Amino acid sequence: MELRKINRGQMEIQQMAFMILAVFLFFILVGLFFLGIQFKDIKKNVAQLQTEQAISSLKVIADMPELNYDSHESMTLDEDKLRIMSGNLGTYYSEFWPVASVKVYKIYPKFNERVKCPALNCNYFEIYDNGQESMKTYSTYVSICKKVKETGYIYDRCEVGKLVVGVITNEAKK
C-alpha cells in the first residue's frame, strides 16, 4: 500500500513538472510571436527613416558651402564649384558625404546628349560616387548658376538642374 502511495506521489510530481514545462513553452511561444510582430514594424520603420534621411540629405547637400552658389539662396548650386568638384575632388570628401553618390544634371535648356564634366559645354556633373552598384536614388530640382560677363555687364546666369543622390539600402548592404 505504501508503495502505491509513493508511485502515485511520483506520478503527481511528474504531472506537475510537465504542466510547468508546458506553461513555460506556451509563454516562450507567445513571446516569440510578440517579438516577430515588433521586428516587422522595426524593419518598416528603418526603411521609412532611410527614405526620410535621403530626402533631407538633398537639401543639406544643395546648401553645402562647397556647392552652394549664394548663401542667401536655398537649392542653388554654383556651376564653377560643380566643375571643380566633378574633377575627382569629391573622392576626398568620402567620409563627409552622407550618401553613396551625388550627381547633378542640367535639364533646361535641353541638351541633345549628356556630356560629362570637366569638358566644354558639359551638362552632367558626377560629384561623388563610392562605386556602389545597387542603390536607391532620390532627386530634386535645383538652380545651377554662374557669374557671366557679356557686353560689359556682369550678371547671374541660371539654368534648371536636377540633383540626384544615391543611397545604399538595406538590400544593397547584404
Contacts 24+ apart (CB under 8 A), 131-136: 132/100, 132/101, 132/166, 132/168, 132/172, 133/172, 134/169, 134/171, 134/172, 135/100, 135/101, 135/166, 135/167, 135/168, 135/169, 135/172, 136/54, 136/166, 136/167, 136/169, 136/172
pLDDT in tens, the chain (174 residues): 566 666 877 888 888 999 999 999 999 999 999 988 888 888 788 878 878 888 888 888 888 888 888 777 888 999 988 888 887 776 677 777 778 888 999 998 787 888 888 778 888 998 888 877 778 889 999 999 999 998 889 998 999 999 999 887 755 444
Please state the domain extents for the chain. Answer: 48-173
Q: List helix spans (H) across 63-100.
A: 79-84
Residues 6+ apart with CB under 8 A from 37: none
What's the confidence (pLDDT) of residue 171?
55
Q: Compute the half-sphere exposure of residue 2: CA atoms within 13 Å on the CB side of its CA.
A: 0
What's the confidence (pLDDT) of residue 90?
67
Residue labelled with grid coordinates 554662374: 146
Cell of 6: 509513493
| Partners of residue 153 on adjacent β-strands | 150
Is the distance from CB of 61 to CB of 165 less than 8 angstroms? Answer: yes
Could you count the other beta carbons within 10 Å of the beta carbon of residue 47?
Answer: 14
Dihedral (Cα; 60, 56, 103, 82), 10-degree rounding: -10
What's the confidence (pLDDT) of residue 51?
81
CA Rg value for the chain = 31
Helix (H) or strand (E) holding 20: helix 2-62
What's the confidence (pLDDT) of residue 172?
47
